[in-house]
A and B are shown apart, each in its own frame.
Chain A
């Protein structure tokens, strides 16, 4: 029973990281109908940035918020400078551009920081005050940070004029323009937010999976699985999907297939959802006119 509870809780912790990645993916998907294959690498580079700052003596939380801010700016810049130029291009072209971004960012990280694995300390104190044994302080912290961030983003989209404008621009760009919304600027902000969310995911993941240029590959895959499972056009479904996938991964790893082929669990979820119910658990079925 202890083992099961432990698996569930650490599954939720990893799941919170998947939820962040899934949210970032869905935010971009909702606004552009595109999947950002480079999301994981962007998060990884952000995490390295934080690490470099911490190594240079910057206190953890200062580095954390600085990284989030810088990631926002860089994300918006990538949209403005790279992605915008391929507006309206065929799907294959855009996918290739994303793959290009993926490998560039991955190799830049490898060049700047080498492929040596680094440790990344958790900001949450090692001495567990409660839940000892069931869940580590960092895992609890990760879940907490994720929930706070989800709440903030929800509030932003629901209650602020800018959030409303972004929702409008994503749903109906033509009408949005007619009320004076600069759709291009909304897209850039959306990318910035997604990059910021990804940065948080990376910084929460690094103490668990250790820091190296390839750390986000598997996490990205699980983020995709979560986004699809929850419904790729539903950000809250995607977040819920993240927690679900985290738990599924742990349980499958512990009781079904062993931990070595966990990535195939993600593959199975992705193919399964796409074939059986492409709109996911909480998404909408979209009927397109021929």
Chain B
């Protein structure tokens, strides 16, 4: 490494920390300038970002394809709702507990998943996604799940009489959970464990012969990934104030896949782009539907599908990849 590039390094790192600080400050400040509904939407973006982070850890970083992460979103949401509504647990505790429940569920699903290579795992998780709404409506669990109706939650107020609206408080709550989760995920990916996960994704047999305990890593990753998405599901149940079986169908899982593809597989910052995408595209499509008629409601998914194929064809690393190329191009121009 030349002297020039060594001196340049700390500047890039400092720039990075600065950027993160700016983003955080902006994020915290946002709810005070946006309307109630917009704040609600932003909360959903934060929640989706955490959910996508979970899926990205499993599929992007570790290469295990899941088309069924909506199931863990559902388990998290229902676990939190049941804890809060039926067992009267304070919501601040219900959320992490829901995360732990999902970790266990994910770990358990990860055990048989060890036997399944890419395509077959995709099949099995596809089946999981389709079966989830029916399982949630299963009569035997009605007492806990509220059956077809689902469960209603009261949206919490800001504590200690702080001068915040409910929407603002919920947004900050989501941010409070999201920030450390992002930090942890970023550390994980850049650590030795992260490299092992990537090695398992790209060269599974070589990784094993190098002493990586692939089975343990893979099942644990499944658990962690499910926990992240479960926490997101729990937060979502608080934000919208209810859980019901039909909101957790196949297309929820597929929109998660769209999110990580658009944002960039294995990219941590990319999940924010993905979350913004899956939150706002349906809205835009709705406005277009107002102009072009009811059937245009089908449009978001037509757009999603087209984008999935185009991105896989032209830019397999999604927005993050495009961003990296842009940064590299700018750097080249500066040096020239």
The answer to A–B direct touch (Cβ < 8 A) is yes
Measured CB to CB, the residues of A under 8 A from B are 33-35, 37, 82, 85-86, 89, 91-93, 95-97, 99-108, 110-112, 114, 217-218, 221, 224-225, 228, 258, 260-264, 266-267, 270-271, 274-275, 278, 290
Known: A92-B65, A274-B115. A97 touches B131 (CB 8 A): no
B306 (CB) vs chain A CBs: closest residue: A104
When A and B form their complex, what is the total count of cross-chain residue pairs whose Cβ atoms lie within 8 Å?
Answer: 143
Contact among A114, A258, A263 with B131 in the assembled complex (CB-CB below 8 Å):
A263
Cross-chain contact of A266 among B115, B127, B301, B302 (Cβ < 8 A): B127
Contact between chains at A99 and B302 (CB < 8 Å):
no
Nearest-CB residue, chain B, relative to A213: B298
Cα–Cα distance between A290 and B206 once the two chains are bound (Å): 10
In order of increasing CB-CB distance, the 10 nearest A-B pairs are A100-B308, A104-B305, A110-B298, A91-B118, A107-B298, A103-B305, A107-B301, A100-B309, A107-B302, A267-B131
Q: Are A107 and B135 in contact (CB under 8 A)?
A: no
Cα distance A37–B300 when bound, in Å? 19
Docked-complex contact B299 and A86, CB < 8 angstroms? no
Query: Which of A95, A217, A278 is the one whose CB lies under 8 Å from B122?
Result: A95
B134 at the interface (CB under 8 A from A): yes
- B302 pairs with A267, CB closer than 8 A: no
Whole-angstrom distance between the alpha carbons of A171 and B116 in the complex?
23
Interface contact A101-B123, CB-CB below 8 Å: no
Q: Do residues B312 and A96 form an inter-chain contact, with CB atoms below 8 A?
A: yes
Please report whether the interface of chain A is mostly helix, strand, loop or mixed according to DSSP: helix
Q: Which of B117, B134, B294 contacts A262 (CB 8 A)?
A: B134
Check A263–B134 contact: CB distance below 8 A: yes
The CA of A225 and the CA of B116, in the complex, are separated in Å by 15
Query: Is there an interface contact between B130 and A263, defined as CB atoms closer than 8 Å?
Result: yes
Q: In the complex, which of the residues B115, B139, B296 contacts A275, with contact meaning CB atoms closer than 8 Å?
A: B115
Shortest Cβ distance from B311 into A: residue: A96
Whether B302 pairs with A260 at a CB distance below 8 angstroms is no
User: Of A35, A110, A274, which is in contact with the most chain B CB atoms at under 10 Å from its CB?
Assistant: A274
Chain B residue with the shortest CB-CB distance to A103: B305
- Please report the C-alpha to C-alpha distance between residue A206 and residue B18 in the assembled complex, in whole angstroms: 59
In this complex, how many residues of chain B approach chain A with their Cβ under 8 Å: the count is: 49
Give the Cβ gap from B209 to chain A, nearest Cβ, in Å. Answer: 10
- What is the minimal beta-carbon distance from A287 to any residue of chain B, in angstroms? 14
Which residues in B have their C-beta under 8 angstroms from that of A92?
59, 63, 65, 118, 265
- Does A95 lie within 8 Å of B119, measured CB to CB? yes
4 further A-B pairs in the complex, CB-CB below 8 A; given A262-B134, A275-B115: A91-B118, A221-B131, A260-B134, A266-B131
Measured between C-beta atoms, what is the minimum distance from B333 to chain A in Å? 31
Known contacts A92-B63, A107-B301: A114-B295 contact under CB 8 Å = yes
A108 CA / B301 CA spacing, docked (Å): 9
- Knowing A89-B312, A270-B127, A274-B116 are in contact, say whether A100-B306 is a contact too (CB < 8 A): yes
For A262, the chain B residues whose CB sits under 8 A away are 134
A222 vs B135: C-alpha distance when bound (angstroms): 16
Distance to closest chain B CB from A130 (angstroms): 36
> Given A110-B298, A111-B298, A264-B135, are A99 and B308 also a contact pair (CB < 8 Å)?
yes
B317 to chain A, nearest CB (A): 11
- B134→A99 contact, CB < 8 A: no
Task: Tell me whether B261 is interfacial, beta carbon within 8 Å.
Answer: yes
**In this complex, which of A93, A108, A270 has the most chain B Cβ atoms within 10 angstroms of its Cβ?**
A270
Interchain CA distance A102-B257 in the complex, whole Å? 13
Q: Residue-by-residue, is B102-135 near A (CB-CB < 8 Å gives 1, otherwise 0)?
A: 0000000000100111111011101110110011
Q: Which residue of B lies closest to A232 (CB)?
A: B120
- Beta-carbon contact of B309 and A224 below 8 Å: no
Specify the chain A residue showing the minimal Cβ separation from B138: A261
Check B20 for interface membership: any CB of A closer than 8 A. Answer: no
B222 at the interface (CB under 8 A from A): no
Please encode chain B, from 10 to 28, with 1 for each CB lying within 8 Å of some chain A CB and 0 for all others: 0000000000000000000
Complex contact B127–A95 (CB within 8 A): no
Contact B119 A35 (CB under 8 A): yes
Query: Could you write out 7 A-B pairs with CB less than 8 Å apart?
Result: A100-B304, A110-B297, A217-B250, A221-B126, A224-B126, A228-B123, A263-B127
Cβ of B120 and Cβ of A274 under 8 Å apart?
A: yes
Interface residues of B in 46-71 (CB under 8 A from A): 59, 63, 65, 67
Does any Cβ of A come within 8 Å of B155's Cβ? no
Q: Which of B216-257 contact A (CB under 8 A)?
A: 250-251, 254, 257
Asked if B166 is at the interface of the complex by the 8 Å CB criterion, the answer is no
Q: Tell me, rounded to whole Å, the shortest Cβ–Cβ distance linking B109 to chain A.
A: 9
Given known pairs A96-B257, A110-B295, the reply for A260 and B137 (CB within 8 Å) is: yes
In the assembled complex, the Cα of A111 lies from the Cα of B302 at a distance in Å of 9
Taken together as a complex, chains A and B put the C-alpha atoms of A96 and B312 apart, in Å, by: 8
Write the chain B residue with the least CB distance to A108: B302
A37 contacts across to B, CB distance below 8 A = 122, 126
When the two chains form their complex, are residues B65 and A290 in contact, meaning their CB atoms are under 8 A apart?
no
CB <8 Å contact, A270 and B205:
no
Report how far A196 CA is from B131 CA in the complex, Å.
27
Q: Is the CB of B139 within 8 A of A97?
A: no
Chain A residues, Cβ within 8 Å of B316: 93
Q: How far is the CA of A102 from the CA of B130 in the complex (A)?
A: 14
B313 contacts A by Cβ under 8 Å: yes
Q: Given A91-B65, A260-B137, A261-B135, is A35 in contact with B123 using a C-beta cutoff of 8 Å?
A: yes
A271-B309 contact in complex given A34-B119, A107-B301, C-beta closer than 8 Å: no
Q: In the complex, which of the residues A33, A91, A100, A114 has the most CB atoms of chain B within 10 Å of its own CB atom?
A: A100
Pick from B127, B254, B312: contact of A93, CB under 8 Å:
B312
